[in-house]
Amino acid sequence: MNTEYAVEMRGICKRFGGVHALKDVDLELRHGEIMGIVGDNGAGKSTLMKILSGAYLADEGEIYIFGKKVNIQNPQDSFNLGISMIYQDLALFNNLDVTKNIFVCREIVRGPFGIFLDKKSMYQKAENLIRDLRVDIQSPKLNVASMSGGQRQMVACARAIAFQSKILIMDEPTAALGVTEANKLLGLIRNLKDMGLSILLITQRIPDILAIADRVFVLKGGQRQDVLDVSLITLDDVVTMIVRGKAGNGKQISGVEYKSFG
Amino acid sequence: MVKINISGLRKYTVMFVLGILMVLFSFTSPYFLTFRNLTNIISQNTHFIIVAIGLSFVMIGGGIDLSVGYQMSLVGVVTAMLMVVYQFPAWIAVILGLIMGTILGLLNGLIVSSIKVFPLIATLATSIVFQGISYMVSKANTFRSYPDEFLFLTKGKILGMPFDVFLTLVLAILVSIVYSETVFGFRLMALGGNEEASRLSGINIRKMKITLYTLCGFFTAIGTMVMISKANTTNSSFGPGTEFIVLTAAIVGGISFMGGEGNIPALVTGVFILAVLGNGMQLAGWGTYAQFIVRGLILLGAVTFDEYQRKTRNSKQKRSVPEQLHVKES
């Protein structure tokens, strides 16, 4: 246990039937840093993050948030601890507008027992949020079904940070975006870091990580390989680690070039 | 980009369709557009509207309840027997009947939310069970002649209108407010729109579903009281068939079969479209059997339209995400 860390996960194990998805994984996220989570498909990146967000329960292991041991049973527990996750498939509601998407399950309420929606405040807050994030969403009343992939990401971000989240998990945020939109989103993530959030970023695009992350956490076959300091490494180092695992314990694979990754 | 509010547009479409139908039928029969006939249409359909409102909770939440018909059958005979056979005071019989209906809804909710089968099949199964219980309880007898206090439900007047019309109006307004103004209504729309996203947002899906089916059972029981009071008689065959009428009315009235959309004014209009069709065809001398054919075709048409609307919405969204680059990780 160490209060230097925003998130500390210890000895996390998770099995799905016979598949050992995570084996005794430790992770430490420092205050205000962006940490990339990388690994091949099936390495366990999303599973590890979903355990932190409460979407899955770990079979074994402990989680500390800001040095305090916590017990995350469901997404609401995680949210109450200041953790927000933006899912790969975005988890948006196509039948609702931007504002309503931001406020599902975190409504601003009024009236006796808080049974009524305070729509005016919700639209006002959504408008401010969109302005503060400087994203190009024309109106908080726009239906998300008609939006581009980038705009939908922005809505998911707005939703995640609207409620004083301290820890943000993003699952492949740039995967479905074009170059321009992806760059805009990376800019936004950097802004969020400046606002004091600690961010975990799952991605397959290693250049993204090199551009904005402080450290990179490498998973392979459900096991932690290493945590690398981004300022000291190159793209090739990361790719090699993803493919071969930690030097010495991975098998040598020869004759394959991985330079065009991402 | 022009923003079109589909459900809002649809609300006016159904009202427009109702208007057209009324104009058409006023040509085919001179009796159609009379005050007496129109008030008849309203008072003949109050129980359908109440049950449709109940069903709308479940449908907006993305589910379906096919058992409302036999819920009515069972609640109807039990309430009637309490009054006629066991001589309970009307108000106690009504309260017990409402509690029973609520419990039947609760059972549906528990089954649908714990065994993860399609609600269509699950409620079809409970429907058959309710049918069996209903006939076992009533022994296929008919129970008629209820106390005056009970008949007040439909014969009594309040503010110049029959009590059941007043009750229907109050319920419709109340639920309308629930849908558009409350946290519950908002989360209901979210649940129907995307169940997995709702779960990830922290909505307690199971609790929510149980609540929806329970509410449906409660409203269905209210509708049952109105139905048997109107007829002043009941047996186990009263009620079945209602599920398809209210289901059709709900879909015509813009409650999406897939959930996530719907409003009460359009729903009520949906009930009246079916009612006006039935009434108009009757007056035009088409007979009851032709009405079944028309009703079936309308259900088919409404579901097709609903599906088409959903597809256009989803394809619009797909087009806007041009490059799906990476394989999903488990």
Query: Pick from A42, A91, A175: which is nearest to B200 by CB?
Result: A91
Q: Which of B60, B261, B317, B323 should we substitute to test contact with A (largest number of A Cβ atoms within 10 Å)?
A: B317
Does residue A222 lie in a domain region? Answer: yes
Query: Pick from B202, B260, B329: which is nearest to A42 by CB?
Result: B329
Interaxial angle between packed helices B46-60 and B68-84, expressed in degrees from 0 to 180 and rounded to the nearest 10: 130
Q: Are B110 and B210 in contact (CB under 8 A)?
A: yes
Contact A95 B187 (CB under 8 A): no
Contacts of A143 in chain B (CB under 8 A): 3, 5
Q: Is B72 exposed, middle or buried (0-12, 13-18, 19+ CB in 10 A)?
A: buried
The predicted pLDDT at position A178 comes to 80
CA–CA gap between residue A207 and residue A233 (Å, rounded): 12
What is the residue range of A65's domain? 5-91+165-244
What CATH number corresponds to the domain at position A87? Answer: 3.40.50.300
How close, in Å, is residue B63 to chain A by CA atoms? Answer: 16
Does residue A212 lie in a domain region? Answer: yes
B9 has a chain A CB within 8 A of its CB = no
Does residue A111 lie in a domain region? Answer: no
Q: How big is the A-B interface in CB pairs under 8 Å?
A: 118
What average pLDDT does range B83-95 have in this prediction? Answer: 96
Q: Where are the domains of chain B?
A: 44-239
Convert the pLDDT of each residue in B44-83 to its tens digit: 999 999 999 999 999 999 999 999 999 999 999 999 999 9
B253 has a chain A CB within 8 A of its CB = no
- For A124, the enclosing helix (H) or strand (E) is helix A119-133
Residuewise pLDDT in 10s, chain A (262 residues): 567 789 999 999 999 988 889 999 999 999 999 999 998 888 889 899 999 999 899 999 999 999 889 999 988 899 889 998 888 766 789 889 999 999 998 889 998 888 999 999 999 999 988 887 777 788 889 888 888 878 888 888 888 777 778 899 998 888 877 888 888 888 888 888 888 889 999 988 888 888 899 999 999 888 888 888 888 888 888 888 888 887 544 444 444 444 444 4
Residue B3's pLDDT band, with cuts at 50, 70 and 90, is very low
The predicted pLDDT at position B328 comes to 37
Q: What percent of chain B has pLDDT over 70?
A: 91
Query: Pick from A41, A96, A176: which is nearest to B190 by CB?
Result: A96
A57 has a chain B CB within 8 A of its CB = no
Does residue A174 lie in a domain region? Answer: yes
Contacts of B324 in chain A (CB under 8 A): 175-176
The token pair that represents B14 in the structure block = 């159904």
The token pair that represents B283 in the structure block = 């007056």
Is the Cα torsion angle B148, B150, B152, B154 positive or negative in sign? negative
**Number of folded domains in chain A?**
1
Residue B208 has pLDDT above 50, yes or no: yes
Contact A75 B201 (CB under 8 A): yes
Contacts of B184 in chain A (CB under 8 A): 115
Q: Which positions ≥6 away from B27 have C-beta within 8 Å?
A: none
The predicted pLDDT at position B315 comes to 62
Beta bridge partners of B261: none
Query: Pick from A16, A88, A106: which is nearest to B328 by CB?
Result: A88
Does residue A72 lie in a domain region? Answer: yes
The token pair that represents A165 in the structure block = 């989240």
Convert the pLDDT of each residue in B95-123 to its tens digit: 999 999 999 999 999 999 988 888 999 99
Q: Are A152 and A159 in contact (CB under 8 A)?
A: no
Contact B329 A75 (CB under 8 A): no
**Of A114-118, A207-211, B144-148, B208-212, which one has max mean pLDDT?**
B208-212
Q: Which of A20, A53, A73, A104 should we substitute to test contact with B (largest number of B Cβ atoms within 10 Å)?
A: A104
Nearest CA in chain B to A88: B328
Beta bridge partners of A116: A110, B182
What average pLDDT does range B84-93 have in this prediction? Answer: 95
Contact B330 A47 (CB under 8 A): yes
CA–CA gap between residue B251 and residue A240 (Å, rounded): 56
The predicted pLDDT at position B67 comes to 96
Contact B260 A95 (CB under 8 A): yes
A121 has a chain B CB within 8 A of its CB = no
Q: Tell me the residues of chain A between 98 and 117 that have a Cβ less than 8 Å away from chain B.
A: 100, 104-107, 109, 114-117
Contacts of B317 in chain A (CB under 8 A): 94, 145-147
The predicted pLDDT at position B314 comes to 63
Euclidean distance between the first and the last CA atom of chain B, given in angstroms as a whole number: 36
The pTM of this model reads 0.85
CA–CA gap between residue B96 and residue B102 (Å, rounded): 10
Question: Does the ipTM exceed 0.85?
Answer: no
B2 has a chain A CB within 8 A of its CB = no
What average pLDDT does range B259-280 have in this prediction? Answer: 91
The predicted pLDDT at position A90 comes to 66
* HSE-up (13 A, CA, CB side) for residue B257: 20
A46 has a chain B CB within 8 A of its CB = yes
Q: Is B237 exposed, middle or buried (0-12, 13-18, 19+ CB in 10 A)?
A: middle
Q: Is B139 exposed, middle or buried (0-12, 13-18, 19+ CB in 10 A)?
A: exposed
Residue B150's pLDDT band, with cuts at 50, 70 and 90, is very high
Contact A105 B330 (CB under 8 A): no
CB atoms within 10 A of CB A144: 23
Nearest CA in chain A to B328: A41
